[in-house]
Amino acid sequence: MAELTDRKLYLGPKLRVLRRELGLNQTRMAEELGVSPSYLNHLERNQRPLTAQMLLRLANTYDIDIRDFTATPAEGGPGELSEILSDALVRDIGIARDEILEVAENYPGVSEAIARFYRALGDLRRLPGDALDRSSPGPLVAPVDWLRETIARAGNHFAEIDAGAESLAAGLPDDPALLQAELRARLKDRHGMSVQLVRGDVLAGTLRHYDMHRRRLMLSERLPASGRLFAIAYHLCAQELADSIAAQIARAAPPDEDSRRLASIALTNYAAAALLMPYDRFRQAAEQGRHDIALLRDRFGMSTEQVAHRLTSLNRTGARGIPFFMVRIDRAGIISKRFDGEAWPFARYGGLCPRWDACDARAPDRVETQLIETLDGRRFVTLAMALPHRPDGGRASPVIALGCEAKHAGRIVHADGLDTEKDEATGVGPTCHLCERRDCPDRALPPVTRALDLHSYERTIAPYPFRRV
């Protein structure tokens, strides 16, 4: 609570949304909170800040989590809205930053709606001119974007699925080798499904295949041990946690069949990870081992990517882990997977900052640690790890990068030796076309928010010099 009292909290829109969700008018809520209706009205209109005492009353009266209530929205916030409104389509309007802040902070629903429209516009822009059938427009949001948005809203944590997987894991051995044998036996005894390891040429182009007629799960010999264990857990969870997964998909309300299938696969993957890395045991191991990636990987028999992904999902109320963000990046800097955590420091659209060293990680068994600082002075510790050679035969092995605010560095063994307050940090920006760092020699594009300041008589170290105002 001390952290919350360091700053004034104007959370009127959230308070108004909570009241409407509870079906209360201002008079009734004011009575239940022990304040006057006029004071509650001032709170909802951001004319008064929420005090620590009022937050405690809200938590006790309506059983809400204070951290969730005071958290910055994962999408549609000032940074994202500013990024959207810098698009060439509306840039000439010159919307002032204070207007953007007012909309983002006071009207989060409007901000989210704008963000969804912008994602839909991005999808349409990627289509060739004759590809859009006006008579059958299809979904306005791409299934992958819809899934990413859905996971972000949930904080990458699905409590019902986690609880079901943890209950299932309670009667299983901890040792990964014994666990695989037990999972195979359970699939066979309870669901009539056998598991068979086959040569790579038998499953050409496929790493695992379930033969529904013979009820046989075939795993390619190219799969590492962690991949085999995960595949078996995936199919067991598809059977035994089907109701929890289906309920979560129903609540998410996928807009089309492709989105529904993606959600089903993603949530079954989530369930498998929760089964193999049960919440409490994994969180305690992570804290006790100070988030040593190799230690967690060996103890649970998982891959680097599986461990990193699981670390981003430790968001259970009352037992949260470090709020990591995570990305999977290829050598070209293209993001194929992203979980924003609580403080994603880069743009949500476009490329990453070239000054972030994550893409340079090359050794699979080595964690590359970097201290970075954003334009607004926030500091982050990032951990980048190259993945081993891909079992699918692809040439470009991606990089997994985890990151969190620097205040958590003391809980991470890979950050030992860093003085997060005194050491020089690498200055990074959201992405080149939105970055206003004037002295950056690594800039690839001019900022769309500033006018260029080019002269034939000089060449500056930083490309694309621009005016300050």
* pLDDT, tens digit (0-9, with 9 covering 90-100), for 345-363: 888 777 788 899 888 877 7
Report pTM. 0.74
Q: Which residues does 156 contact at the CB level (< 8 Å), separation at least 6? A: 312, 313, 315, 339
Average pLDDT, the chain: 85
Identify the band that residue 5 occupies on the pLDDT scale cut at 50, 70 and 90.
very low
- Higher pLDDT pick, 65 / 222: 222
Please give the Cα distance from 303 to 293 (Å, whole number).
9
Q: Which domain holds residue 465?
A: 436-469
- Whether 39 is covered by a domain: the verdict is yes
In this structure, are 167 and 258 located in the same domain? yes
Task: Please identify, among 24, 39, 70, the residue that sits at the C-terminal boundary of a domain.
Answer: 70
What pLDDT, on a 0 to 100 scale, did the predictor assign at position 72? 56
* Res. 2: pLDDT tops 50: no
In this structure, are residues 432 and 443 in contact, taking their beta carbons and an 8 Å threshold? yes
- Whether 129 is covered by a domain: the verdict is no
Identify the band that residue 134 occupies on the pLDDT scale cut at 50, 70 and 90.
very low
What pLDDT, on a 0 to 100 scale, did the predictor assign at position 13? 78
In this structure, are 271 and 165 located in the same domain? yes
In this structure, are 448 and 407 located in the same domain? no
Strand arrangement, sheet containing 208-211: 194-198, 216-220, 208-211
What pLDDT, on a 0 to 100 scale, did the predictor assign at position 4? 45
- Enclosing H/E stretch for 186: helix 176-191
* Res. 24: pLDDT tops 60: yes
- Whether 130 is covered by a domain: the verdict is no
How many structural domains are present in the chain? 4
Please write the tens of the pLDDT for every residue from 138-160: 445 678 888 988 898 888 999 99
Beta carbons within 10 angstroms of residue 97's beta carbon: 11
- Whether 386 is covered by a domain: the verdict is yes
Domain containing 59 — which CATH number? 1.10.260.40
In this structure, are 239 and 341 located in the same domain? no
Beta carbons within 10 angstroms of residue 403's beta carbon: 24
What pLDDT, on a 0 to 100 scale, did the predictor assign at position 395? 60
- Enclosing H/E stretch for 335: strand 335-339
- Enclosing H/E stretch for 109: helix 108-126
- Dihedral sign of CA atoms 343, 348, 353, 354 in order: positive
* Res. 392: pLDDT tops 80: no
Please give the Cα distance from 115 to 85 (Å, whole number).
10
In this structure, are residues 165 and 237 in contact, taking their beta carbons and an 8 Å threshold? yes
Q: What is the mean pLDDT of residues 200-221?
A: 85
In this structure, are 391 and 448 located in the same domain? no
What pLDDT, on a 0 to 100 scale, did the predictor assign at position 291? 97
In this structure, are residues 176 and 300 in contact, taking their beta carbons and an 8 Å threshold? yes
What pLDDT, on a 0 to 100 scale, did the predictor assign at position 394? 60
- Whether 18 is covered by a domain: the verdict is yes
Q: Residue 9 gets which letter from DSSP?
A: B
- Whether 270 is covered by a domain: the verdict is yes
In this structure, are 409 and 347 located in the same domain? yes
Q: ∠ at Cα 300 (359, 312), nearest 5°?
A: 50
In this structure, are residues 397 and 273 in contact, taking their beta carbons and an 8 Å threshold? no
In this structure, are 222 and 163 located in the same domain? yes
* Res. 383: pLDDT tops 80: yes
- Higher pLDDT pick, 389 / 183: 183
In this structure, are 168 and 269 located in the same domain? yes
What pLDDT, on a 0 to 100 scale, did the predictor assign at position 137? 46
Please write the tens of the pLDDT for every residue from 281-331: 999 999 999 999 999 999 999 999 999 999 999 999 889 999 999 999 987
In this structure, are 268 and 331 located in the same domain? no
Please give the Cα distance from 420 to 429 (Å, whole number).
18
- Enclosing H/E stretch for 238: helix 225-240
* Res. 74: pLDDT tops 50: no
